[in-house]
Structure 1
Amino acid sequence: MRNILIAAAVSLLLSMAGTPLAIRLFSRRGYGQNIREEGPSGHYDKRGTPTMGGTVIVIASLIGYFTAHLSTMLTSHVESPTASALLVLFLMTGLGMVGFLDDFIKIYKQRSLGLRSGAKAAGQLVVGAIFAILVVRFPNAYEMTPATTRISFLRDFGPSIGLIGFTIWVLFIIVGFSNAVNLTDGLDGLASGATCLVLAAYVLIGNWQLRNSCTFMLSPNCYWVRDPLDLAVVAAAVLGGCFGFLWWNAPPAKIFMGDTGSLALGGVLAGLAVTTRTQLLLPILGGLFAIITMSVIIQVGFFKMTKKRVFRMAPLQHHFELSGWAETTIVVRFWLIAALCVAAGLGLFYLEWMPKQ
């Protein structure tokens, strides 16, 4: 628990203090957001707002996590960082670098599109494939690896799908969720606030799995999770960084996270889902991201078939903008939807365990 508190506090303070510095630095260098011409007209006022703020979240999260481990190692000889946590942080950082390249090209070429879609997808696939392959390696003293080659919901189930099948499955989760957070990042504070809620859920899940871990108790209902406490520390560190950034990103935003932040945050959520064995629970916990992504799929698919639109504009938040809703109204109501999804996910997680006592 001490590591969780230290990681969250350090990351929060660094993000709160570092984001204004990033705003001034990026403003001086002209790292401002370009706005799509086909987007809602109300967004034109946001042109020039500093972007790439996701770099602050990533850096604050990494420093918060390693500071927590360093402080406890010096005082109580706690074990060093675990493979599970390091792999999730690698996934977050790697996808953040892909997003950073995308953001930098947008700024350098002064256009609303950065990396070509193929290059961006290739970067996500390379980072995701490395994570997927390594996450089934590194057994510990109990011969447990950070993940297994089985699909999971609230825990692993069914037979192994093999390394190739597992890699494809994990890539689907990583690419899908990193792009889902990216699609959600269209209004001030929307994606960062929703991500904070899901990360808080993973702090609770990690703690619950620790208390009921099969390495500490003999029960048919315990959790075979490699490093639940350290995964909770990762979630807390990113939560602190994201929360501090939200202070400056809330409407009206002083800075945007850009693809740097959205891809990194989507990656860390996917990584936590894989390593906590809650892969199919993630779309419920992150239900808002799933809903917004589905709105884009429905819009594109229906338009290709009929040349007509279901929504005034996709992603879904822009449909409500064009319907006359105020931006803050959309953000708060979508946060409420995100909170309901998190509550439903945590309820399912707990109810699955409770009847077997």
Structure 2
Amino acid sequence: MIGLLVGGVVGLVLTLFGTPLFIRFLVWRGYGQMVRDDGPTTHKTKRGTPTMGGFVFITVLVLGYLITHGVLTLLGSPLAGPTASGWLLLLLTVGMAFVGFVDDFTKITKQQSLGLTPRGKIILQTLIGTAFAVLALNFPDGRGRTPASTAISWVRDIPWLDLAFAGPVLGVVLFVVWSNLITTATTNAVNLTDGLDGLATGATAMVTGAYVLMSLFQANQDCAGPAVEGCYEVRDPMDLALLASVLTGALLGFLWWNTSPAKIFMGDTGSLGLGGALAGFAILGRTELLVVLLAGLMVAITASVIIQVGYFKLSGGRRVFLMAPLQHHFELKGWAEVTVVVRFWLIALMCVMAALALFYGEWLLQHDVFEGAGA
């Protein structure tokens, strides 16, 4: 538990005081945000605001993780030392953040709102996602548990949805496809949510905060200890909780500067990095389907874009929303930006609370059922 507290505080402090230094550097270099010409007119004033702020909290995530493990080593904690799951989550997070950084830097140097080509972005994301997926099926612990499994999960692996049914080789291939699908969905979802000051930062912090609680509970009910019915077969739950704690603290520190009026934007560096982190937590924490509810706000925002584009093409130019993503629809309806953000945060919080209730409720059901059967 002390590791989670140390990690959260380190993430918060480093980001809170490191972000203004990075803002000064970006201003000095003239690295400002390019704004879409077809976006809400109120966003024109945001042109030139420093961007690539995700570089700060992604860097802090790595530093905070290593610093906390250093502190735990000095304290003689048995949990000291990074794990395979921890390194893999950092690989996916930092890898996706790198793709976003290249995209952001391209926009800035070319002075346009479009960076990497869609094809180039997909290729880079697929390479990183595939490396993560393949490695995640390796590195078994003493009980033979690997960081990920070929079974599709919701709050734990679903035995009858194990992709290995197609054979060991094809099962791995199917898992790689499934893992990349999750990663693509989460990175796009966070990226589309990042349209208003503080919206994506606050919403993602709620999801990572939930992963602190769920991973901690998984560690307390780990099948590696005295095995009981309903225990969890997650390889390194405490290390995932630590990473979630560091990232939550870092996001709260960044939100101080990112909230309206934003002094800095996270850019694609931040949104793609955060999407990678959410995918990593879902896959390594065996909550692949639950993340749809956990990130319910982001799912709704992504769905609004799909609906808008699909209906526009099918109807010959008609629209469902005034503008997509969904947050801009409400802006054009006259809602103030801060009003949209706070109300969307409340929706995000309700989704997180519902997901936590399902997560804990499933464990209670397991416990009650087996206890009743034993009676």
- Note whether the superposition's TM-score is higher than 0.5: yes
Tell me by how many angstroms 1:311 deviates: 0.2
The CA deviation string for residues 163-191 of structure 1, in whole angstroms up to 9 with x for no partner, is 01111001000011011000000000000
Corresponding residue for residue 5 of structure 2: 5
Give runs of ≥4 in structure 1 deviating > 3 Å.
Answer: none
The CA deviation string for residues 245-284 of structure 1, in whole angstroms up to 9 with x for no partner, is 0000000000000000000001101100000100000010
Corresponding residue for residue 128 of structure 1: 129
Q: Which amino acid aligns with 2:259?
A: A
The CA deviation string for residues 273-305 of structure 1, in whole angstroms up to 9 with x for no partner, is 000100000010000010000000000000010
Q: Which runs of 5+ in 1 are unaligned?
A: none
Corresponding residue for residue 286 of structure 1: 295
Tell me by how many angstroms 1:220 deviates: 2.2
Corresponding residue to 1:330 among 333, 340, 353: 340
Corresponding residue for residue 217 of structure 1: 226
Corresponding residue for residue 81 of structure 1: 82
Tell me by how many angstroms 1:6 deviates: 1.1
Distance in 1 of aligned mates of 2:161 and 2:261: 49
Identity, % of aligned positions: 53
Distance in 2 of aligned mates of 1:213 and 1:233: 16
Corresponding residue for residue 51 of structure 1: 51
Q: Which amino acid aligns with 1:314?
A: A
The CA deviation string for residues 125-165 of structure 1, in whole angstroms up to 9 with x for no partner, is 11111111111100011111001111000100124311011
Is contact 1:8–1:236 with CA below 8 Å preserved after alignment? yes
Corresponding residue to 2:268 among 259, 276, 283: 259
The CA deviation string for residues 54-89 of structure 1, in whole angstroms up to 9 with x for no partner, is 000111111111111011112215341000011001
Corresponding residue to 1:173 among 182, 188, 206: 182
Q: Which amino acid aligns with 1:16?
A: L
Is contact 1:61–1:240 with CA below 8 Å preserved after alignment? no
Task: Say which SS state the counterpart of residue 220 (structure 1) adopts.
Answer: coil
Q: Which runs of 5+ in 2 are unaligned?
A: 164-170, 368-375
- Per the normalisation by structure 1, the TM-score is 0.99
Distance in 2 of aligned mates of 1:7 and 1:353: 27
Corresponding residue to 2:194 among 179, 185, 189: 185
Corresponding residue for residue 103 of structure 1: 104
Q: Which amino acid aligns with 2:214?
A: I
Distance in 2 of aligned mates of 1:8 and 1:321: 34
Corresponding residue for residue 16 of structure 1: 16
Q: How many residues align?
A: 357
Distance in 2 of aligned mates of 1:301 and 1:82: 43
Is contact 1:152–1:277 with CA below 8 Å preserved after alignment? yes
Is contact 1:286–1:338 with CA below 8 Å preserved after alignment? yes
Task: Say which SS state the counterpart of residue 141 (structure 2) adopts.
Answer: coil
Q: Which amino acid aligns with 1:72?
A: L
Is contact 1:91–1:267 with CA below 8 Å preserved after alignment? yes
Distance in 2 of aligned mates of 1:128 and 1:253: 31
Task: Say which SS state the counterpart of residue 76 (structure 1) adopts.
Answer: coil
Could you say what the CA RMSD is over the residues aligned between the two structures, in angstroms? 0.8
Tell me by how many angstroms 1:241 deviates: 1.1
Task: Say which SS state the counterpart of residue 162 (structure 2) adopts.
Answer: coil
- Per the normalisation by structure 2, the TM-score is 0.94
Q: Which amino acid aligns with 2:349?
A: A
Corresponding residue for residue 31 of structure 1: 31
Distance in 2 of aligned mates of 1:69 and 1:316: 40
Moved more, 295-304 or 76-85: 76-85
Is contact 1:102–1:115 with CA below 8 Å preserved after alignment? yes
Tell me by how many angstroms 1:8 deviates: 1.1
Tell me by how many angstroms 1:355 deviates: 2.2
Distance in 2 of aligned mates of 1:121 and 1:130: 14
Is contact 1:251–1:328 with CA below 8 Å preserved after alignment? yes
